[in-house]
Structure 1
Amino acid sequence: MSDPQPILEVYQPGETTVVGFGGRDVLDYVNLADCREEMIELIQKTGCKVLAVDMTGVKLIPSGLLGLLAAIRDQNVEVHIYNPSDDVREVLSVTNLDSLMPVHDVAVPGRQSAS
């Protein structure tokens, strides 16, 4: 049995770490425990102070994953959300998570554009 595919795609490691979800449009099947483990390990390895999460192409996201992103702030890491869909943006607004995690509609720092 092979190792599972990583959940996160790391575009830029470092003090400002940029991650995405590898083009998945629905994140229903993301294993939250594995995702949390990947994020914490990445934060520790990179000395991350700001986690920029690219939501480009993501249409649906489970509430548990949003809770995980909010909980990452307990690691003294700022979390920024980039390019959420209208549906994800609405969930962020209704849950007030957009007041905890700034939301941006701009090119993601450190992410190479697909040519």
Structure 2
Amino acid sequence: MGDKLVLPQLSRLDVTDESRFYRIAFREGKVDGTAVRELYEVTMQLVDHDNSIRMLVDLTGVHFLPSGGLGMLVTIRKRFLSIGGQLHILVPDEQVKEVFAVTNLDKLLHLYGNDHEAVNAFKH
């Protein structure tokens, strides 16, 4: 993934360079307005740094996903499609999976129930 990227201080997200992909997790499972804004800002910075980006949004510990979070995932997906990036979303919580199903976003986004599936689905 090239040069070392320096990210801003984040209050709601943890970003990890896993060498093959970036993992973004929500601290304390909390997805609020600040977390959604940070997700957008970090994603755009990562895309500017690496336009063949692979990113895993890890929703482990998240039990509620507000509409702003859903909308941001769709926005990020559009950006990734335009540059050829790969976006996978880890959704282990059944209640959160149901939100994706009810909104039909499970048909639009690449959702995975466990870490192994999500990581192994990245194309090389």
Partner residue of 1:80?
88
Name the SS of the counterpart of 2:40 in structure 1: helix
The counterpart of 1:106, out of the listed 89, 95, 114, is 114
Describe the SS at the equivalent of 2:41: helix
| Residues 1:21 and 2:26 are matched in the alignment | yes
The alignment yields a C-alpha RMSD, in angstroms, of 2.6
Structure 1: runs of 5 or more not aligned: 110-115
Distance in 2 separating the partners of 1:4 and 1:17: 16
Q: How many correspondences in the alignment? A: 107
For residue 25 of structure 1, report the CA deviation from its aligned partner.
2.3
Query: Which has the larger share of helix?
Result: 2
Aligned identity (percent) is 29
Tell me the CA shift for residue 6 of structure 1. 3.9
Q: Distance between the aligned counterparts of 2:35 and 2:23, measured in 1? A: 20
Write the deviation string for residues 48-81 of structure 1: whole angstroms up to 9, x where unpaired.
Answer: 4332111111111211111111111221233211
Residue correspondence of structure 1 range 24-39 to structure 2 within 5 A: 24-39=28-43
Q: Confirm or deny that 1:51 pairs with 2:55.
A: yes
Cα distance, 1:31–1:20 mapped onto 2, change above 3 Å: closer
CA contact (8 A) 2:46 2:53 kept: no
Instruction: Please say which of residues 94-103 and 73-82 is displaced more in the overlay.
Output: 73-82
The TM-score with structure 1 as length reference comes to 0.73
Give the secondary-structure state (helix, strand or coil) at the position aligned to 1:30. helix
In 2, the alpha carbon distance for the partners of 1:7 and 1:42 equals 17
Return 5+ residue gaps in structure 2 as ranges.
1-7, 120-124
Q: Distance in 1 between matches of 2:101 and 2:67?
A: 13
